[in-house]
């Protein structure tokens, strides 16, 4: 039986029962290494996330969008003010940032570039995900990786099309919108057609699982400083899932495609991100799991250094990758070379597969070459 069949047979509740030890803090496996991937879908603007505040070119390129009140953390980098909660993490030595990350000849289509990052194959075929290939190599089970969200990512699709667990908090989270409420109402009403009813139950089962996981979520949110926002709740849910010691957790946060109104939109998103990251970091420490979980935040591309005419930025090339956990703290990959743009875009200094390769070899103790097809020099953020 392959995993696909297994997934079809295994209900989400069965997964939860199998992981019920996780209800207690002591259920977590202290030898487990977990990677939590957070994908910022849409293309996050790296230059306004980690600001090159000493570089005059930055303000020349961004007369309206340049951020002047960043929080300096080094002689060249200032954090976006909304990232103030990341500063203590950096000072505690648990935050590394790799800048100027992309791949040769970057592609500026959202979908194509997502495929490239998630497959780890800028040139080859994109029919499997790099994380799934790792998981297959260690014969992982369906419940060893959990995707939280609606659009199942390529990163977690195996060579044979195998899938891992998917939980969708969307129905619950979205119910503030009219459409969310309507979907909710629709899926709460039994269907007269037997197959339609089966469809309804399959969708609801995933939501039930999220509900069960979320039972004590409000209390957690109060005690662990998770924000009571939809994104904050997703982070709290991640914190809850981490207790069951999965090998991988994967979550997507959308909305980063800031062609317009970037100042407001990105600020709000970064605030939520940094609140979530710091809350989960505190949560991990309080459970003694701070050496068992590595968090990686990535985006399919960064944005154009020069601002556009509508208060935003268009698609660019490189983006920073954020790593939180038992890392060698600091900034890697050099400063953005605003004085030597290539076709108006930032030159690539670090291949994202160097980051993946280092995670595979140092974090998972796996052979990165078999997963990525090539060998890449490591960046150095892991000891």
Interaction site with another protein (CB under 8 A): 2, 4, 7-8, 12, 41-42, 105, 109-112, 114-115, 122-127, 150-154, 157, 159-163, 165-168, 170-171, 178-179, 182-183, 185-187, 189, 191-193, 195-200, 202-203, 205-206, 254, 257, 259
In the complex, minimum distance from the CB of residue 146 to another protein, in angstroms, rounded to a whole number: 11
Nearer residue to another protein within complex by CB, 148 or 359: 148
E-only strand ranges, the chain: 34-40, 50-51, 71-72, 78-79, 95-102, 145-148, 165-167, 248-253, 293-299, 319-324, 330-332, 350-351
In the complex, minimum distance from the CB of residue 324 to another protein, in angstroms, rounded to a whole number: 26
Helix (H, G, I), strand (E, B) or coil at 93: coil
In the complex, minimum distance from the CB of residue 251 to another protein, in angstroms, rounded to a whole number: 14
Nearer residue to another protein within complex by CB, 157 or 382: 157
Q: Is 330 left (phi over 0), alpha (psi -120 to 50) or beta?
A: left
In the complex, minimum distance from the CB of residue 295 to another protein, in angstroms, rounded to a whole number: 23
Dihedral sign, Cα of residue 308, residue 312, residue 315, residue 321: positive
List CB contacts of 185: < 8 A, sequence separation 6 or more: none
In the complex, minimum distance from the CB of residue 315 to another protein, in angstroms, rounded to a whole number: 9
Check: CB of residue 352 under 8 Å from CB of residue 319: no
Helix (H, G, I), strand (E, B) or coil at 315: strand
In the complex, minimum distance from the CB of residue 237 to another protein, in angstroms, rounded to a whole number: 15
* Closest CA relative to residue 372, chosen from 85, 117, 170: 117
* Closest CA relative to residue 177, chosen from 230, 245, 227: 230
Nearer residue to another protein within complex by CB, 154 or 324: 154
Nearer residue to another protein within complex by CB, 171 or 269: 171
Check: CB of residue 136 under 8 Å from CB of residue 144: no
Angstrom CA distances, 343 to 73, 306, 316, stand at 30, 11, 10
Cα 282 from Cα 289, distance rounded (Å): 10
In the complex, minimum distance from the CB of residue 131 to another protein, in angstroms, rounded to a whole number: 15
In the complex, minimum distance from the CB of residue 3 to another protein, in angstroms, rounded to a whole number: 10
Place of tokens 């060893």: 144
Nearer residue to another protein within complex by CB, 127 or 216: 127
Nearer residue to another protein within complex by CB, 163 or 287: 163
């Amino acid at each position: 039986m392959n995993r696909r069949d297994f997934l079809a047979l295994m209900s989400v509740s069965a997964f939860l029962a199998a992981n019920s030890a996780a209800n207690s803090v002591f259920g977590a496996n202290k030898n487990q290494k977990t990677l939590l991937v957070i994908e910022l879908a849409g293309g996050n603007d790296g230059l306004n996330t980690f600001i090159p505040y000493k570089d005059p070119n930055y303000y020349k390129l961004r007369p309206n969008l340049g951020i002047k009140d960043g929080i300096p953390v080094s002689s060249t980098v200032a954090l976006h003010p909304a990232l103030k909660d990341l500063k203590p993490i950096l000072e505690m030595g648990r935050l590394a940032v790799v800048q100027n990350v992309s791949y040769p000849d970057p592609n500026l289509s959202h979908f194509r570039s997502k495929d490239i990052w998630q497959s780890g194959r800028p040139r080859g075929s994109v029919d499997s995900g790099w994380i799934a290939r790792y998981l297959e190599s260690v014969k992982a089970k369906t419940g060893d990786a959990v995707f939280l969200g609606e659009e199942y990512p390529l990163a977690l699709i195996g060579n044979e099309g195998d899938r891992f667990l998917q939980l969708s908090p969307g129905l619950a989270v979205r119910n503030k919108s009219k459409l969310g409420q309507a979907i909710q109402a629709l899926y709460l009403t039994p269907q007269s057609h037997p197959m339609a009813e089966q469809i309804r139950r399959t969708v609801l089962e995933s939501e039930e699982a999220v509900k069960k996981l979320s039972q004590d979520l409000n209390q957690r949110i109060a005690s662990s400083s998770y924000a009571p926002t939809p994104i904050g709740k997703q982070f709290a849910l991640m914190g809850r899932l981490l207790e069951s010691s999965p090998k991988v957790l994967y979550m997507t946060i959308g909305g980063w495609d800031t062609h317009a109104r970037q100042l407001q939109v990105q600020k709000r998103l970064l605030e939520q991100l940094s609140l979530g990251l710091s809350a989960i970091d505190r949560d991990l420490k309080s459970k003694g799991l701070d050496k068992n979980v590595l968090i990686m935040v990535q985006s399919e591309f960064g944005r154009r250094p020069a601002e556009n005419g509508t208060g935003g930025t268009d698609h660019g090339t490189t983006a920073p990758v954020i790593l939180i956990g038992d890392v060698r703290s600091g900034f890697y990959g050099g400063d953005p070379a605003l004085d030597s743009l290539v076709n108006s875009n930032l030159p690539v200094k670090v291949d994202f597969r160097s980051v993946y390769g280092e995670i595979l070899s140092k974090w998972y103790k796996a052979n990165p070459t078999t997963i990525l097809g090539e060998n890449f020099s490591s960046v150095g953020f892991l000891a």
